[in-house]
Structure 1
């Protein structure tokens, strides 16, 4: 029977734990940042990689049909999305793919829309590629983040938006969008011929009641929509540098192929292909147990905040393993780093990373770790505030 094994990852060249000094200027922090699990991968992945290592030859690799079949079966079984093999393209990660697609689908000074607070590489990619960043902030309705559809269409028209980057499930607020929500914004994009990149990398980490809906399945959007996903968040394989770019549009596929051919980016790392195929073929039991752990960690964290810091706002975590918490009732925005990092000694993703000063009272916590770390986080915050 598959077990989920917690690993102490200090002194293993792990960026999450051993990169604290470089990222935060301190190495004595409790690492609750960056979306990286503290769990061993499924046994099937380890066995597949061990078998390949034992072969002793690591030359050029011919990607087998079974790799594509494993992914297509996973999408159909778990997400009701029937992906055709000819649609699938490679990227070493979702973030590189976003940057490449920005260059492929837009020109310098074109407008690209995002919905803050949102994963900060979206913003960084837009600005680094000399495009105009257009914000359509999410709004809060009875403690639930929602898309501002009216403002979305207004911004599309007024700012002549060429591309929309969708985050689904949404990082960092944890929303799993409904079919109706997705269709509302995609219909607007179709109406105005706005391209859409759907970042669905957290698609398998859903712990709430709502089922995750793949954007590509809610209507006919093949000519404008590219879906990005990976096994990296699902099975903690980020170091394997292997992501999927799903492009139903022949026109966009041709553009993508020409762009990657110009860089001679023809394939990925063999270890990544092998790890991903093994995970999709045999990792479901492991994933189910990990989701149970994450859900338990979230419920316990929420309970502790209710007891110790009851005015902190813990937002519902329908998807991802990243908790979004507003500490504004206790800490001034300008004091967040001093209290959370310097006094409580916790490494977090600070809210202003996801959209600026407006979110500076927020923190994002990684719950894919052992329960003791989650409890210690809340205890340290309470002690620092006292």
Structure 2
């Protein structure tokens, strides 16, 4: 895989990742568009009742919604489509034009609290108070899985999946070195039911200026149980009927206390905090196994399944020895024509009720994977 870095017309970073054996040449077109100045970095406000930080990014209100194929902003540029990517590509990663975090980083804002109001470390962010604000420093990136106008990660080849995994690892390492970044989150939103605004096969990477609320709760659970909690979970699930499949380096399972009608976790067998720490054998096996899982999920029904594929990684500066990289794949689809909506109890009180037992869910996914493999044989 080859990595080629450049910049877009407004100074945003763009990185091309070429497949192994790619037919693409080394030359890439220059982005010759005339673009407006990038929006200023958003502001975070603290919810004093929970300690959560809420980003207020008004620039995202008018982002593009379900454009036609000839106006696809993630397709390679043409004379009639001045898109975000100047050249043909295999995989492309670029800074989001309408980010929730960034483009400023803590270092660029300076260290004077009055002048920048940037987060001043985890202790500063953990403090509680009315009317507390901070600058939403960080980075939001778009990961284009393919130049094709439609599809998802699951529709890619094993070679292309392997290239995306390499891009995730490379970007995790690079973003972790940026000032003010505390956690890196690669993810894919798939389907209009999830809220996807572009049909082009793509995911995103968020680089947060704080440790996210879910990971904070996870760190508290580890503190109350054992530093090797993830290993205990893996062994517990591997000895259950909730295993979906198991490889040499990865196991997929429906978790014991699954919240969603469809929820699958995919976890490495050894402790690795993030993609940057995975080895070549783990990445090589992950590519076909992840495709196997996604194609099985799509075979559950006659139409593609909406989902959120969330790759949880350890924070940059805490929990590196205890938080293990893992996928949490969830879907609100509870039947062919029914969705689970987060109504009063789940939404307001965070008190979940599941309609599908995890054991039933695992059995259904195993059967769907078999159908998908038979259909492609």
TM-score in same-fold range (> 0.5) = no
> Larger relative CO (CA 8 A, sep 6+): 1 or 2?
1
TM-score band w.r.t. shorter chain: under 0.3
Higher helix proportion (structure 1 or 2): 1
